Amino acid sequence: MCGAGPAGCVVAERAAQVLGWKVLVVDRRPHLAGNCYDSKHRSGVLIHNYGPHYFRTNDASLIRYLSRFTDWIPGNYIVKSLVGGQFYPFPINLHTLEQFFDLSLNAESAEQLLRTKRIACPAPRNSEDFVLSKVGRELYEAFYLNYTRKQWALHPRELDPGVCGRIPVRLNRDDRYVEHRFQIMPKRGFTALFSRMLRHRKVRVLLDCDFREIQSLVTPRRATLYTGAIDAYFDHRFGRLPYRSLDFQFERHDVEFKQPCVQINFPNDFAFTRSVEIKHVTGQKHPATVLSYETPRAGGEPFYPVPNAANQALYERYRALAEETTRRDRVYFCGRLAQYRYFNTDEVILEALQCFAKIKKECAVLRQSALSRR
């Protein structure tokens, strides 16, 4: 088992709890929870060390599963974007449109206005076409173009429509960042949630250890889960898949809250893309607060796959190898880095549950055929 992020923790927990397997979880980093890792900053303020994780899902059964390991508090995911010196609600909604175009609008008149702005594109093939076809050029240039260039070091034209398509456009006054049915945060944080998941007498955790260091020392009896970068597993034999990374700068302030909301985006100014005051959503009471500034970078810890056709084609070559490896060696590939997909946390957990179901089924078949051979 490799990786103590969400995918690794879920499969480990299920394998121990449901199948009674002994599980070894190995992670290169010195902590659990992967990029969901949260911890106390030296000020005592709880921070998300690798960027904000706004937990949301439409899936009630997922909440039921996770509720075994955590209580919840409401998520209050509000984002504003600083454009031309003014803060705008983001994603774009009726308030944003009114403020941007200096008009009074309702859903109908906003729709009419956007009709005059949109640039028709029946089947957008990239993020630029997608946004232009939703809101037209002025809003695209104000809110999306430069943010996207900073975040990815690519033009929106070079990215799949789904990248900017993650952000809804609303003709109502709903100012939440996302629209999911459940928008909640683990009450004591993500690290506490995933630690609780691994607190099982059959699970051992080895941190600060690259799995390659112990690979020759451990012989998995039943299956291996790999959640690292897929190209690294195969020694980059077809070339490197690009991943985008971030630098975080944390800043303490001796006030209860510094920003009006959890996240402020800076599409057109500064090298950083956003400032995050996660205290708005962790529910922590503390006299101080911490802001984190995110500056995108190439290299470093891989955080995001870079979704476009060329990278997908390269990934497909690795995926074919991975499928062969699964069949031959029972090594399963799951998670953002191993599947090269821009998953959210809830999606990764669902993928991990599916992966576990597959492992369970395939191991049962193998056992059955071993028994019948006896």
- If one asks whether residue 148 binds ligand UDP (CB under 6 A), the answer comes out as yes
Residue that has been written with the tokens 């190995």 in this structure: 26
Least distance (Å) between residue 263 CB and ligand UDP: 8
Identity of residue 287: P
Are 81 and 88 contacting, i.e. CB atoms less than 8 angstroms apart?
Answer: yes
Q: Which of 10, 22, 17, 12 is nearest to 66 (CA)?
A: 10
Least distance (Å) between residue 324 CB and ligand UDP: 31
Segment interacting with ligand UDP (CB under 6 A) among 22-30, 113-121, 161-169, 311-319: 161-169
Q: Which of 88, 143, 243, 272 binds ligand UDP (CB under 6 A)?
A: 143
* CB half-sphere exposure, 363, CA atoms < 13 A: 17
Rounded to 10 degrees, what is the CA torsion of 353, 355, 361, 366? -150
Residue 74 token pair = 């409401």
Cβ proximity to ligand UDP, 151 vs 308, nearer residue: 151
Least distance (Å) between residue 144 CB and ligand UDP: 4
Cβ proximity to ligand UDP, 86 vs 112, nearer residue: 86
Are 183 and 56 contacting, i.e. CB atoms less than 8 angstroms apart?
Answer: yes
- If one asks whether residue 166 binds ligand UDP (CB under 6 A), the answer comes out as yes
- If one asks whether residue 278 binds ligand UDP (CB under 6 A), the answer comes out as no
- If one asks whether residue 345 binds ligand UDP (CB under 6 A), the answer comes out as no
Are 252 and 43 contacting, i.e. CB atoms less than 8 angstroms apart?
Answer: yes
Residue 30 token pair = 């010195």
Q: How far is CA 185 from CA 32, 61, 73, 192, 323, in A?
A: 18, 16, 5, 12, 35
Q: Which of 89, 77, 58, 262 is nearest to 170 (CA)?
A: 89
Segment interacting with ligand UDP (CB under 6 A) among 108-116, 142-150, 329-337, 348-356: 142-150
Q: Which of 227, 265, 282, 289 binds ligand UDP (CB under 6 A)?
A: 265
Least distance (Å) between residue 131 CB and ligand UDP: 8
Q: Which of 21, 88, 147, 333 binds ligand UDP (CB under 6 A)?
A: 147
Segment interacting with ligand UDP (CB under 6 A) among 1-9, 143-151, 316-324, 349-357: 143-151
Are 190 and 38 contacting, i.e. CB atoms less than 8 angstroms apart?
Answer: yes
- 306 vs 155: CA distance, rounded Å: 12
Pairing of strands 304-305, 203-206: unpaired
Site pattern 220..259 for ligand UDP (x: CB under 6 A) = ----------------------------------------
Among positions 70-89, residues that touch ligand UDP (CB under 6 A) are 81
Q: Which of 130, 136, 131, 100 is nearest to 116 (CA)?
A: 136
**Number of residues that this document lists for the chain:** 374
Q: Which of 151, 227, 308, 326 binds ligand UDP (CB under 6 A)?
A: 151
- If one asks whether residue 144 binds ligand UDP (CB under 6 A), the answer comes out as yes
Are 125 and 161 contacting, i.e. CB atoms less than 8 angstroms apart?
Answer: yes
Cβ proximity to ligand UDP, 148 vs 259, nearer residue: 148
- If one asks whether residue 339 binds ligand UDP (CB under 6 A), the answer comes out as no
Q: Which of 26, 114, 163, 264 binds ligand UDP (CB under 6 A)?
A: 163
- 277 vs 79: CA distance, rounded Å: 11
Q: Which of 90, 293, 318, 333 binds ligand UDP (CB under 6 A)?
A: 90
* CB half-sphere exposure, 12, CA atoms < 13 A: 31
Least distance (Å) between residue 114 CB and ligand UDP: 17
- If one asks whether residue 167 binds ligand UDP (CB under 6 A), the answer comes out as yes
Residue 162 token pair = 């789904």
Q: Which of 83, 94, 142, 164 binds ligand UDP (CB under 6 A)?
A: 164
Residues within the interface to ligand UDP (CB under 6 A): 81, 90, 143-144, 147-148, 151, 163-164, 166-167, 265, 267
